[in-house]
Amino acid sequence: MSQDQTTRTWGETIALIFHKKVLVMLFLGFSAGLPILLIFSSLSLWLKDAEVSRSTITFFSWAALGYSFKFIWAPLVDNLSIPGITTTLGRRRGWILLSQIAIIISILAMAFSEPTSSLTFTAIAAVMLGFSSATQDIVIDAYRIESAKGDMQSMLSSAYIAGYRIGMIVAGAGALYIAGWLGTEGTYSPNAWTTAYVCMAVAMLIGVATTLCISEPTSYRPSHSIFDDNSNVLKFLLCFIICVAVFIASFTLIGPSIKEFKAWLLSDITSNKRIAGFIAATIKLWLCIGFAVVMAWVLIRLKAVPKEMLVLGYVNPVKDFFVKYGKTALLVILLIGLYRISDIVMGVIANLFYSDLGFSKIEIAAYSKTYGLIATIAGGFLGGAIAIRYGVYKALLTGAILSAATNILFAFMVDLDKSGSILFMTITADNISGGIATAAFVAYLSSLTSVSFTAMQYAIFSSFMTLFPKLLAGYSGAMSIELGYQQFFYLTALMGIPAVFLVVILSKLVPVEKLN
């Protein structure tokens, strides 16, 4: 982010909103935002209708962990040519189109699954959707960063967030409206949910049309690279598939041992089932990651994949970041990991909270999604405007403070009678603050990214941004039961305080002119 960003007038700042590239990012943002709520809140209400337990429902948020581990396959997306597509559309557009097709297939698979009889198939389809949409995010983020330089990134980020939120509203409000209209309140209607998800798959065609209409951005790829040899890239892909297979196999095989370990924890360490479950699940996850890493090391030792590819794909992007930011790099990483924790942990439980307050699916769609549309878009563009006019750190600080503060408003609602006007005001404030925070943060992450490692570095940043919050969000259902809604919302507000201090500290240690 250049220093001259603070010299723009409000007129110049507003004029950027109507730039052609901003409109493109609005539609691509829609394509990126639509899938996420089909894994989170809309799926949560579908599973609740199917009488799946609350704790199991919130565990489904882990289906979106692909967003948090997308840096693992980002080098493949960044470098692998798709036969018959890359030569026609280009590397970025080709991968965007392929991921969008995979998203549509995954949504249709979820649509025709039945949680009451095949919850496992629903989970597999949700994981497929998370993986496909995370892949789309990798390429769209790279496309956005390569499409413009300087403070224009703040407005592109705002348009992306606005489109993203519109996509979320379509997937949230749209799916809920359709399910509500076709179903009967209080009665499980699987056909209504099937129709809702099929409609969402059709809505993804907006993203497909956009991809086919846009042009390929300027490539910052070196003139010659080992990745240019597709045989090497295919070896890399095969090794990646082997490591994924090891992860899945170990996840399945160590299941009985982890259950025994959980039983031991309950008998000798703690009597709290949720604490024991959290410890056991966390250990299981990291053990499986460890097995996959060991397999990767074995494949490297066997020279199954050229070592230079790993250095170029993984080591150099990380090394570039630490060389550039030095000792402050760890503080930057800490801010990335904590900035969105307040929103993400609270967001998983929000629709269940509204439902428990007595609001119907139609009312939730109206107050939580439809009425919040204007506030969300306004918040996103306001965040971008603040970043351009006053600097990215002031925008980050504003977003961090407001995001934590608005969670307290939800805590106040617990003791109040059901009121549409109070819900409207609370959600409007939450949407505005969320728009400001997200737009500012996307602009900040973009400014940290080197154009030599666009996809990989941004994938690492955005993955780490959601990793810990989403792991913790998987237990939001259990936490809300244990603490009660009010204390839970207060806790999520407190989670946002460290980010406020980190923004203040980094604004002094890494001034704006040191960012890209």
- Position 10 scores a pLDDT of 62
Alpha helices by DSSP H, 223-272: 230-253, 255-264
Whether the predicted pLDDT of 237 surpasses 80 = no
pLDDT in tens, 146-189: 887 666 777 888 888 888 878 988 888 788 888 888 876 667 78
CB 162 within 8 A of CB 380: yes
- Position 97 scores a pLDDT of 95
- Position 6 scores a pLDDT of 46
pLDDT in tens, 457-509: 888 888 778 777 777 777 777 778 878 888 889 998 999 999 999 999 998 88
For 328, other C-beta atoms within 10 Å of its C-beta total 14
Mean pLDDT of 271-294: 81
Backbone angles phi, psi at 187, to 5 degrees: -125, 135
- Give the separation between CA 213 and CA 93, rounded to whole angstroms: 10
Show the tokens assigned to 98: 């392929």
Beta-bridge mates of residue 184? 187
Whether the predicted pLDDT of 299 surpasses 90 = no
Could you tell me the residue ranges of all domains in the chain?
3-514
What percentage of residues in the chain have a pLDDT greater than 70?
A: 88
CB 453 within 8 A of CB 320: yes
- Position 1 scores a pLDDT of 42
For 17, other C-beta atoms within 10 Å of its C-beta total 16
Whether the predicted pLDDT of 124 surpasses 90 = no
Residue 233 CA to chain centroid, in angstroms? Answer: 27
The CA-CA-CA angle for residues 475, 478, 479, to 5°, reads: 85
CB 435 within 8 A of CB 377: yes
Show the tokens assigned to 260: 């025994």
pLDDT in tens, 82-123: 878 888 888 899 999 999 999 999 999 999 988 888 888 888
Residue 85: strand, helix, or coil: coil
Whether the predicted pLDDT of 44 surpasses 90 = no
What percentage of residues in the chain have a pLDDT greater than 90?
A: 17
Q: Burial-class residue 135 by CB neighbours within 10 Å (0-12, 13-18, 19+).
A: buried
CB 207 within 8 A of CB 29: no
Show the tokens assigned to 191: 């056909």
pTM of the shown model: 0.74
More confident residue, 425 or 8: 425
pLDDT in tens, 351-370: 788 888 888 777 777 777 66
Q: Mean pLDDT for the chain?
A: 82
What is each CA distance from 65 to 69, 109, 464, in whole angstroms?
6, 19, 11
Beta-bridge mates of residue 9? none
Confidence band (pLDDT; 50, 70, 90) for 274? Answer: low
Secondary-structure class of domain 3-514 per CATH: mainly alpha
Residue type, 221: R
- Give the separation between CA 213 and CA 409, rounded to whole angstroms: 43
Q: What is the DSSP string of 270-336?
A: -S-HHHHHHHHHHHHHHHHHHHHHHHHHHHHHTTSS-HHHHIIIIIHHHHHHHHHHGGGHHHHHHHH
- Give the separation between CA 139 and CA 458, rounded to whole angstroms: 10
CB 108 within 8 A of CB 38: no
Whether the predicted pLDDT of 31 surpasses 90 = yes
Beta-bridge mates of residue 187? 184
Nearest to 375 by CA among 402, 411, 414: 402
- Position 11 scores a pLDDT of 66
For 507, other C-beta atoms within 10 Å of its C-beta total 16
pLDDT in tens, 211-228: 999 988 875 555 456 666
- Give the separation between CA 165 and CA 171, rounded to whole angstroms: 10
Show the tokens assigned to 416: 């109040």
